[in-house]
């Protein structure tokens, strides 16, 4: 088995460790690394070398495996996350002055029926599209960086502290003490029957409702 491997994984781990730490030192010498707050002392070269010295003595873990379809398949896979747009052209169905129709996937449904069609006014479609446009200097990497879902709240709080930016004001408006299962009544009546309208479900833009109406039975006997 080992005879078919060009570079053993243990050798590759040491090689990667050396390359990575060498690049960190080079970036530090060039002044490309910036340190703030409690890490400001790392700007000193000797302090930084002592800081990363333990990393040279631990075992790094790397994983390498030949791609099944060659390197081109790997590049195609990564490019979908690093250079993708909010929606691909193949999902667009029709567009005119009144609406833009596109396909979306409902992950709550299994099988071919999970693909559905949504129509949005062009202004609303553009608004949703621009939400996915990153600020200048940001790169889109899935589940990585400051805004990764696992550490987003903590990282944003740390960034605000480092930048000395006050956190957003909390909503101090007192909410009425209402049970969770109490139906919410809308202030406006139904335009057709004049009865009160009750919120049965709230879902995010672009998502479909979980609630499905029960078809009424027609007695044909």
**Mean pLDDT score, 143-149:** 67
pLDDT recorded at residue 20: 93
What is the SS3 assignment for 43? helix
Residues contacting residue 10 through CB under 8 Å, at least 6 positions apart: none
Could you count the other beta carbons within 10 Å of the beta carbon of residue 112?
A: 6
In terms of Cα–Cα distance, which of 97, 98, 115 is closest to 106? 115
Instruction: Say whether pLDDT at 1 is over 50.
Output: no
pLDDT recorded at residue 215: 54
Among 22-26, 172-176, 194-198, the minimum mean pLDDT is found in: 172-176
Q: What angle do CA 196, 200, 206 make, to 5 degrees?
A: 120
Instruction: Say whether pLDDT at 17 is over 90.
Output: yes
pTM exceeding the 0.85 threshold for the entire prediction: no
């Amino acid at each position: 088995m080992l005879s078919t491997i060009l570079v053993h994984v243990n050798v590759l781990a040491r090689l990667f460790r050396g390359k990575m730490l060498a690049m960190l030192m080079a970036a530090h010498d060039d002044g490309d690394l910036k340190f703030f707050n409690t890490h400001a002392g790392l700007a000193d070269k000797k302090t930084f070398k002592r800081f990363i010295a333990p990393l040279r003595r631990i075992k790094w873990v790397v994983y390498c495996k030949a791609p099944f379809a060659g390197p081109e398949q790997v590049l195609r896979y990564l490019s979908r996350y690093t250079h993708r747009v909010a929606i691909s052209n193949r999902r667009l169905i029709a567009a005119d002055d009144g609406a833009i129709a596109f396909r979306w996937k409902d992950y709550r449904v299994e099988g071919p029926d999970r693909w559905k069609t949504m129509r949005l006014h062009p202004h609303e479609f553009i608004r949703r599209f621009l939400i996915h446009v990153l600020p200048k200097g940001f790169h889109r990497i899935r589940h990585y960086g400051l805004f990764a879902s696992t550490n987003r709240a903590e990282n944003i709080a740390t960034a605000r502290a480092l930048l000395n930016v006050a956190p957003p004001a909390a909503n101090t408006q007192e909410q009425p003490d209402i049970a969770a299962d109490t139906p919410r009544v809308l202030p406006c009546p139904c335009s057709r029957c004049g009865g009160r309208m009750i919120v049965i479900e709230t879902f995010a833009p672009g998502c479909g409702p979980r609630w499905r109406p029960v078809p009424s039975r027609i007695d044909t006997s």
